[in-house]
Chain A
Amino acid sequence: MAISFEIVFFGVFAGIAVILAIMMLSVKSPVHAALCLVGVMIMLAILYLMLHAYFLSVVQIVVYAGAVMVLFLFVIMFFYSPGASDPSRMSVHFTHIAGAIILAVILLAVITGSFLLSGNVSLTEKPSAAQMTDIEKPIAETSEAPLTEETSRMIEKQNPQLVGRMLFTKYLLPFELTSLLLLAAMVGAVVLARRSPPAEAGSAGGDGND
């Protein structure tokens, strides 16, 4: 089978996501960076959409691109004046960039190679039963039939329901742990953002060499 639309679309949106991510790191203004991040989130949402994870896709847009990023931008605009970014801090060394690019390309090549070498993963075919995800599997089993158009439509329909059920049954523990994680992150942010006492003379200055 020739290259399907799925692959073309994937390539386009994933590519845009990567470009936006790089832009996010390289632009100087924090506001622009935040906007790039919004773009990345939206691209990811599109990728979810292509995987028939409609619910997740919408959640991605609503929560990340919407709420979280708006908060982000709000904070940035509130605290930073446009010219505040220190150019010397943003400068990067050529060797670092070159090193990172070379290594990233090698990693990309190696992992792409791993798909090709594996042989049992095809980029175009539907996944076999062994490769079905935890969510697909129960439905495939209940319908007692291979994953047909009908079952996949069923998945689409039941999507939010399934995600919810999974989260509160099988994945209850990770779900709850996440809440703990977010709590800790929140507390941590508060602690670190607290105005620090004046630095003691002699203790913090140091030589910067050790």
Chain B
Amino acid sequence: MTSMEFSPQTIDFTAIMPIIIISAGILVTLLLPFAAKGRAKIINPLVALIVLLAAFISSARIWDLGRASFDGMYTADNATLFASFIFIIVAFITVIAITARYCPFLRSPDGEGLFASPEVFPLMLTVVVGAIVMSASRNLILTFLAIETLSIPLYVLAGMNLSSERSKEASLKYFLTGAFASGFLAYGISLIYGAVGKLGYHAILDACSPTAADYTLYAGLALVAVGFGFKVALVPFHAWVPDVYQGSPALISGFMASLVKAAGFTAILRFFGEGIVPLYGIWWVAIAIIAALTMTVGNLMALNQIVLKRLLAYSSIAHAGYLLLAVLIIGKEWSEKGVTAGAPLGDAMQCAFFYLAGYVFAIIGSFAIIWWLTPSDKEGALLEIDDVRGLNDRHPLHAALFALFLFSLAGFPITAGFLGKFFLFASALSHGFILLVVFALLNAVLSAYYYLKIIVAMYMKSAPEHASLCEEPSPNPWIYAVVWTCTLATLWLGIIPASILGLLGSVSVGG
């Protein structure tokens, strides 16, 4: 713990290899566009894809090895790696989907591009690095920096649609509120540092005892929770979400709703589970209240929405509420048993990750469908429920896949969403959170209403008389990468979850 004997030889490079690879990719994709013109432009996304693939492989190679680097500050245990897989897959399919917009010769039927600027690739890769470090970090300084590394490119990506005022507004709003929330996070970290003099999670774990009256520490952890809460959009730190998801290009909204939330929750689970778990008795009430608030407000607000992106934004807020249950479960389980390195993560972590995986693919799939349906010459336009009326008659495939994702979000059987909710709620119940589970179930029933509203519109209403926005969905075939991956994942997780659960079962606390 106190060793000063750091040298390049002591750094475990295999652990950080994925982020090294992606960082190299960031530099290459940043410099390449100056050389590449015309058809050669495809090199840019191609490099991004190759880099992501390489990062995936280098992550897979250290599966089960429980590598850690920098004195445990960076932990590449299986939880990190599983989260990394999700990040990389999401980034991979998103990059494929925007490639067509980037390269004019692929973009045959689409209009002038939204993603014509080559910077989009390095920015997305930076987000992935931030997300991976967030999920691997066991030190508050590193976590803070990782969150910023993830956020700053996202502020830019949200404003990527330069022709749309909404997009600019989304970018600015996200930036301002994000900076504000970062202030709380930094203040919280400084208070924790002031109280225990440590920033490493394990050092904090050793230092905090539930019996001492260390109010500075409590204030610190509360403010850190605020910072995290902003990232994953918990109520009341959620207000930016609808505006930002609505203003950003749909694909980027999906990217944010899936990747950022997954990274945020992995970081939360780590901090609460491995850092301040002895103080479970002190923070659980606040978390439980936030969980209940988040799911209820998210669902209630979604009820009235007619703009699809906004509706999905509120739905993603509600899902964050359900996911908080996992934090409570882990807190309760680990505060009772104590955390020991190498111990299996237990069913709480397992169901949290399963839920996350199911949610991620359903939400990004939904946003991809919206992107798909929005004609490219009306990039800034907002698809409303009325626009998808009778979609089944016009574009049955779009309608069927959209319905599938919505069913998964609503938690219907044979989709990933159902099993995710099932495991999560069952686990919460067996840990004694009866009231919260009942609350969550009622919320799930409530949420079915607005998901169904869309499905009703698609299947049971005739097409609107006036020309709707999605008369001519973009025939861009590259979006299939996202849509079909998500379809496959949603069904796979829903029908044969055993394979993924088996994978998650081997996830253990890193050494």
**Complex: A in contact with B (CB within 8 Å):** yes
Q: Mark B133-159, 1 if CB is under 8 A from A, else 0.
A: 100000101100110110011011001
Q: Mark A2-25, 1 if CB is under 8 A from B, else 0.
A: 000000000000000000000000
- Interface magnitude class on chain A: 35 or more
For A138, give the chain B residue with the smallest CB separation: B4
For B153, give the chain A residue with the smallest CB separation: A184
Taken together as a complex, chains A and B put the C-alpha atoms of A170 and B7 apart, in Å, by 9
Binds A, one of B295-303, B376-384, B440-448: B376-384
For the complex, is B119 an interface residue (Cβ under 8 Å from A)? yes
Interface pair B381/A187, CB less than 8 Å apart: no
Q: Number of B residues whose C-beta is below 8 Å from A?
A: 68
Q: Which residues of A contact B4 (CB under 8 A)?
A: 138, 165, 169-170
Taken together as a complex, chains A and B put the C-alpha atoms of A111 and B226 apart, in Å, by 15
For the complex, is A86 an interface residue (Cβ under 8 Å from B)? no
Chain A facing B: main interface SS: helix
Q: Which residues of B contact A111 (CB under 8 A)?
A: 191, 216, 219
Interface pair B307/A191, CB less than 8 Å apart: no
Q: Which residues of A contact B191 (CB under 8 A)?
A: 111, 114
Taken together as a complex, chains A and B put the C-alpha atoms of A111 and B218 apart, in Å, by 10
Interface pair B194/A141, CB less than 8 Å apart: no
| Most chain B CB neighbours (cut-off 10 Å) among A117, A121, A188, A197 | A188
Taken together as a complex, chains A and B put the C-alpha atoms of A145 and B213 apart, in Å, by 28
Q: Which residues of B contact A141 (CB under 8 A)?
A: 2
Which of B70, B119, B164 is close to A191, meaning CB atoms less than 8 Å apart? B119
In the complex where A169-B6, A188-B155 touch, is A183 in contact with B163 (Cβ < 8 A)?
A: no
Q: Which residues of B contact A120 (CB under 8 A)?
A: 212, 214
For the complex, is A110 an interface residue (Cβ under 8 Å from B)? yes
For the complex, is A198 an interface residue (Cβ under 8 Å from B)? yes
For the complex, is B171 an interface residue (Cβ under 8 Å from A)? yes
Taken together as a complex, chains A and B put the C-alpha atoms of A85 and B433 apart, in Å, by 54
Chain B facing A: main interface SS: helix
Q: Which residues of B contact A177 (CB under 8 A)?
A: 129, 133, 142, 145-146, 149
How many whole Å from A39's CB to the nearest CB in chain B? 19
Q: Which residues of A contact B163 (CB under 8 A)?
A: 196-200, 203-204
How many whole Å from A97's CB to the nearest CB in chain B? 16
Q: Which residues of A contact B112 (CB under 8 A)?
A: 197
Which of A118, A137, A169, A196 is close to B215, meaning CB atoms less than 8 Å apart? A118
Q: Which residues of A contact B117 (CB under 8 A)?
A: 191, 194
Closest 4 CB pairs of A and B: A169-B6, A188-B156, A114-B215, A203-B380
Interface positions of B (Cβ within 8 A of A): 2, 4, 6-7, 11, 16, 23, 26, 30, 69-71, 73-74, 112, 117, 119, 122-123, 126, 129, 133, 139, 141-142, 145-146, 148-149, 152-153, 155-156, 159-160, 162-166, 168, 171, 191, 193-199, 207, 212-219, 246, 307, 310, 377-382
For this complex, 23 residue pairs linking A to B, each with C-beta atoms less than 8 Å apart, are A111-B191, A114-B219, A121-B194, A131-B197, A137-B2, A169-B6, A170-B6, A173-B73, A180-B126, A180-B129, A184-B126, A188-B119, A188-B123, A192-B171, A194-B117, A194-B162, A197-B162, A197-B163, A199-B163, A200-B378, A203-B381, A204-B166, A206-B382
Supply 18 further A-B pairs (C-beta < 8 A) apart from A187-B153, A199-B163.
A114-B215, A117-B215, A118-B215, A119-B213, A131-B196, A131-B197, A138-B2, A170-B4, A183-B26, A188-B155, A188-B156, A191-B117, A194-B162, A197-B163, A200-B163, A206-B382, A210-B246, A210-B307
